[in-house]
Chains A and B, each alone.
Chain A
Amino acid sequence: MSWYNKRLAKSIWVFHVSASPCNNCDIEILDLLTPKYDIERFGIKLVGSIRHADVLLVSGVINQKVAPKVKQIYDQAPRPIFVVGIGTCPASACSFKRSYNIVEKREDIIPFDLIIPGCPPKPEAMIEGVAKLIGVLNG
């Protein structure tokens, strides 16, 4: 499928799933569309339905109430799909480790391909992450 991946890397369509974040990473994702860090010049845009998406952006430490919905969204996505985790929360749930309401292992719910750490990660770091993904897709 490498010829398909090369076509995909030309213009990636992104769907954003917020699995109980504090909304800071979401605002930084929306910041990527504004005139200073214009990411639409690379052909990347936010879409409204999971069936149109190539890449899934997940932010937040996954709650026990929202975990079945996130799993359902991952199952409904058309293959091939790449999952990118934004922030420190999907990596390690640093501040919220002792809570009674979060899942024990985030990899059981949804497997991550790329994680961009930071609280919140700067938009330049997110663009570098996307560039690495495009590099992997190109072979």
Chain B
Amino acid sequence: MDNYNGFLSLMGNKIIAKTLKHKRLYFEVDNKDIIEVSDYLFNKLGCRLSTATAQESYRGIEVLYHFSHDKTGDYYCPRVVISDKKNPKMNSITPLFIGAEWIEREMAEMYGVYFEGHPNPEPLLTGNHPRNLTQPLRHRRNNE
């Protein structure tokens, strides 16, 4: 926990809930704060975006970014929960650095999340598909 004290004292008011595992800090932020937190992690601390994952759960669609601080081996993982399942939208962090472009395009085509501010919102893997696949990783239930 000692490595994360500097970060927690600065951004503590934006964090809703947090969990600390061995060398990984998972915390939840609101949609309006994700750009500021990512800006601090990428530019001031010098972290690298390792990957980003998405999952559909009972709370909504959760998008989890994994930032890796290479000098010490620690991970900072902010999570955004989008509760509107019919039209999910959130802010995109691609204007900060270009490395997040492709992973956000893939999350958009697999889960249907619209990233506001993304410079190139085309599907990555299923463009020009002969069968027109839409959102293959969402749950399919009969009563929705």
Contacts and interface: CB of A to CB of B under 8 A. Distances in A.
Interface of A: 64-65, 67-68, 100-101
Contacts of A67: 130
Interface string B111-144: 0000000000000001011110100100000000
Main secondary structure of the interface of A (DSSP, over half): loop
B130 A101 contact: no
A100 B138 CA distance: 12
B128 A65 contact: yes
Contacts of B136: 100-101
Contacts of A100: 133, 136
A101 B128 CA distance: 13
Contacts of A101: 133, 136
Nearest to A63: B129
B127 to A, nearest CB: 9
A96 to B, nearest CB: 14
Contacts of A65: 126, 128-130
